[in-house]
Amino acid sequence: MTKLTLGTYPHMLGFEQLERLLERTAKSGNEGYPPFNIEQTSDCSYRITLAVAGFAETDLAITVEDRQLVIRGRQREDGEDRIYLHRGIAARQFQRSFVLADGVEVGEAVMENGLLHIDLSRAVPETVVQTIRIRKG
């Protein structure tokens, strides 16, 4: 079976970057932890909410790397002086990635009641009509 790519469609010019983004997203390895929501808060804004109970603000890092929003969490060990009779709350590290479209900017991040909220906004592109003059050859 032949793999169809965006380059095989003659009317789709310059979308090679989109194809690379889709491949990178498929390979990002996001597991189901931590759970998250994505909501549209207006026509041009979004909010990603991650359930990060047990993490402090200093345990989390948020970066944008090559149009990819990356959230990393790593809890510090409480110390080895604790003796757990049962440990059902996992203190594991995580990495969550979200590919951002051109024009999407990351706003503020707020920690509230064990939830990390990250606000995103998308600039509305201006409609531009360009007339190309035909030169005699």
**pLDDT tens-digit series, residues 49-61:** 999 988 999 999 9
Residue 124's pLDDT is: 83
Same domain, 38 and 1: no
Three-class DSSP category at 17: helix
Ranges of the chain with pLDDT below 50: none
Same domain, 62 and 109: yes
The CATH number assigned to the domain holding 116 equals 2.60.40.790
Residue 6's pLDDT is: 61
* Structural domain includes residue 133: no
- Looking at the structure of the chain, the number of domains it has is 2
Same domain, 114 and 88: yes
CA distances from 25 to 80, 106, 131 (A): 38, 18, 37
* Structural domain includes residue 135: no
Same domain, 80 and 118: yes
Residue 82's pLDDT is: 79
Q: What is the pTM of this model?
A: 0.72
* Structural domain includes residue 46: yes
Which domain, by its residues, includes 107?
32-122
